[in-house]
Amino acid sequence: MPALFRRRHVWVPTVWGWLALFLACGALGVIAIRSLYGFLSPTEPVSARILVVEGWVPVEEFDEAVTLIRQGGYERVITTGGPMLNALEVPDTRTYAERARDHLVRRGLPESLVTALSAPASAQDRSFLNAVLLREWLERSGNGAHAVNVFSSGPHSRRSRLLHRMACPACEIGIIAGTPPEYDPAAWWRTSAGARDVIGESIGWMWARFFFRPGPPGSHEERWGIPQPG
């Protein structure tokens, strides 16, 4: 009868081997933690005449956008965003797009330079909906723009660029990451605001990268939340 089992020699780590593995894993973990913010917050602009400013970013970051606009020679600034979550935050302002436009104008930018592209209320995929409306505005404007830079906030930037690329496949998308005012990006794990922001955006980027599948251009699935004509 043929044998059903046979003996083999198995190598297992010693106490010192386990310690070395533990230290190596710990070192890799530290490197990953320190590198995570930089991965999520790329600043990789392209040659573009249009700058898109996401209107929901903290007000303090708008001043960074003003500097970029003045230095970059942009011919048009588009602010995006839907209804404000707290209408009392800025009186007489209905959307984040209007909030951003008004702030940029108060900082000295000409009103003729800045266009507020407000989005309707949506319970999900708000960043993608903003990108879809941007694509449609570019198509309507007929200015032949084939490249835009997007100004976003810190670790949201990589996801924002991904969603704009998905919504605007014919347009080259650059990204510029602002600096969050609530925590030190170099030590984001030391504050609850930093941990919440970076960990939340890590999950958001992975979901958008591997699971988010928008509908065909112009479809209700792509424009989720916009009332459809009866």
pLDDT at 122: 73
Residue 32 has a pLDDT of 79
Please report the sign of the dihedral spanned by the C-alpha atoms of residue 12, residue 14, residue 19, residue 20.
Answer: negative
The per-residue pLDDT for 91 is 54
Give long-range contacts, CB 8 A cutoff, 24+ apart: 33-36: 33/189, 36/188, 36/198, 36/202
Per-residue pLDDT reduced to its tens digit, 147-186 = 999 999 999 999 999 999 999 999 999 999 999 999 999 9
Find out whether 215 and 167 touch, Cβ atoms under 8 Å. Answer: no
Q: What pLDDT is attached to residue 30?
A: 80
**Which SS3 state, helix, strand or coil, does residue 42 take?**
coil
| Superfamily for domain range 43-182 | HUPs (3.40.50.620)
Confidence (pTM): 0.86
Element of type H or E holding 207: helix 192-210
- pLDDT for the residue numbered 230: 43
CA–CA distances in Å: residue 192 to residues 21, 162, 214: 30, 26, 32
Grouping H, G, I as helix, E, B as strand and the rest as coil, residue 216 is coil
Residue 128, pLDDT score: 92
Q: Which residues of the chain have pLDDT under 70?
A: 1, 3, 86-93, 123-124, 143-144, 224-230
Q: Compute the distance between CA of residue 2 and CA of residue 5 in angstroms, rounded to an integer.
A: 9
